[in-house]
Structure 1
Amino acid sequence: MPGHPRVDAGDGLVRQHELLEQLNEDISSAYIALERDRSSQYLRRCVVRAIFSFIEAIIESIKWELRSSIRAGHFTGQLSAKEQETLGSLHLIGKRNDSFLPLDQNIKRTFSLAAKIWQLEGFRLNTDKDEFRDFQAAKSARNRLTHPKTVYDIEVTDEDMHSHTTAAIWVKTELERLMRARIAALKSEIN
C-alpha cells in the first residue's frame, strides 16, 4: 500500500525533491548491483526501470512546479488547448484530468511549457543531437520491455544499455540546464 503524507507530522504534500533524490539513488544502486553481474538480464531490467521511473518523475516534477507558478499568479499569459492538455489539471485536490502522452512528446512539451511559463528567453530542449536519438532508442527498448510479446522483448542488449545510460544522462543534463535558466531568470527579476 502506498504511503500518504503525514501533514500533522510536518510532511509536505508532494516532496518532489525527495522523489527525484530517491529515484536517482535507485539508478545508482541498480548500476552498482549490475557491476557485480553484468550479464544478468534481471539487473539490466532493474536499471532500465530505475532510469525511466526517474525520467517520468522529472517530467511530473516540472509540471508540478509549472502548475504552482500558474496558481501563484507568476504567469498570466494564455495556454493553448495542447499546452493545457500537457500541463494537466491545476487543481490540488480531486481527480486529475491528465491525458496520456507518449514520453518523447511529453518531455518536449513539458520543457517547452517551462520555457514559456517561466519566461526563459531562448531556452529550447536539446533534441538535435545523438543523445536525443539514444533517448528515443531507449524509450523503444523500454516499451518492448514493459509490453513484451516474446522472450526477446525482455532482453536488454549491450546496445540497449548504452542507449539507456545516455538517455539518463541526457535528461539529467537537460533538467540541470532548465533549472540554471530558471535561476538566472529569477535572479534577473530580483535585480
Structure 2
Amino acid sequence: MSIIDDLQKKEKALQKLIRLGSLTVLPLHADFNHASSQWRRDRSSQFWARTTIRCLCAAIEATLFSFRKIAEDIAPLSSVQFSTDEIEILSEKRTVVQGGIRTKRPKFLPPAGAVKETFRLFAKAVGTVATVDYGSGFSDFCGTFEVRNRLMHPKTPFDVAVEPKDINMADRGITWFNQTYMKVADQCQAHLAKVIAEHNRRNA
C-alpha cells in the first residue's frame, strides 16, 4: 500500500468512526433536548430541571467516551504511540499491584481534565495538535458538572434544587461543548486532508 493510500484509508476511517460515534450518542442528546423542552414549559418543575442537568452530563460523558474510543482505534493507523498514562486515560483503567498481583482499577478524571485530555489525545491520534478555547464557555461547562455532582451527592436539602440560572449555565456549557468537539473533529480531518494534498503536490 502506498503512502497516499494509507493516508486516505486513515482519513476515511476517521470519518466513519466520527459518524458512528455521533449516531451512538444521539439518543442521549435527544433525552437532554426533551428534558430541556419540558422544563421550559414548566419552569417550576424541579423534576425536569434535575433531569435536564443529568441528561446533559450523561450526553457529554458519552460523547467524550466515544472520542476516546476513536482515538484508540485511529492511533494504530497513524503509528501513534500513547504513553502508559495516556492509555489509562483513554481506557479509564489503571493497573495496580497488590500483594504481587496486578489488577485493573477504574481511573476517572474530573470533568475539566477529562475534556482537555480527550481533545488532546483525539488530535494526537491523527498526528496533530488541536486548538481549543477554554474560556467562559468552558467555565459554564465545568459549572454544569458541579451542579450535577451536587445533585448526585447532596449534603443538605437545598443541594437538590436546580435554579433557572443553572439551566441557563448548562445551555451555555453544552453550546461550548458541541461547538468545540465539532471544531476539534474538523481540525483533525483538515489536518489529514492537508497532509494528503501536500503529498500529492510533492509527487505530481
| Coarse TM-score class (shorter-chain normalised) | 0.7 to 0.9
The whole-number CA distance in structure 2 between the counterparts of 1:61 and 1:96 is: 21
Normalised by the length of structure 2, the TM-score is 0.75
Aligned match of 1:27: 32
Shift of 1:108: 0.8
Aligned match of 2:96: none
Shift of 1:174: 0.8
**1:68/1:96 CA distance change after superposition, 3 Å:** farther
Q: Assess if the C-alpha contact under 8 Å between 2:25 and 2:59 holds in 1.
A: yes
2:63 alignment partner, one of 58, 75, 88: 58
**1:16/1:137 CA distance change after superposition, 3 Å:** same
1:107 alignment partner, one of 115, 121, 132: 115
Q: Match for 2:132: what amino acid?
A: L
The whole-number CA distance in structure 1 between the counterparts of 2:127 and 2:27 is: 29
Identity of aligned residues (%): 28
Shift of 1:88: 1.4
Alignment of 1:88-167 (within 5 A): 88=91, 98-121=106-129, 123-127=130-134, 129-167=135-173
Superposed CA RMSD in Å reads 2.1
Q: Assess if the C-alpha contact under 8 Å between 2:141 and 2:170 holds in 1.
A: yes
- Answering whether residue 184 of structure 2 is matched by residue 178 of structure 1, we say yes
Equivalenced residues, count? 169
Which is greater in Rg? 2
Alignment of 1:61-100 (within 5 A): 61-70=66-75, 73-88=76-91, 98-100=106-108
Q: Deviations over 1:54-90 (max 9, x none)?
A: 11011100011111113xx223233223212211179
| Structure number with higher strand proportion | 2
Task: Report which stretch shifted further, 109-118 or 74-83.
Answer: 74-83
| Structure number with higher helix proportion | 2
1:42 alignment partner, one of 29, 43, 47: 47
Q: Which runs of 5+ in 2 are unaligned?
A: 1-19, 94-102, 198-204
Shift of 1:24: 1.4
Q: Secondary structure at the match of 1:152?
A: helix
Shift of 1:97: 6.0
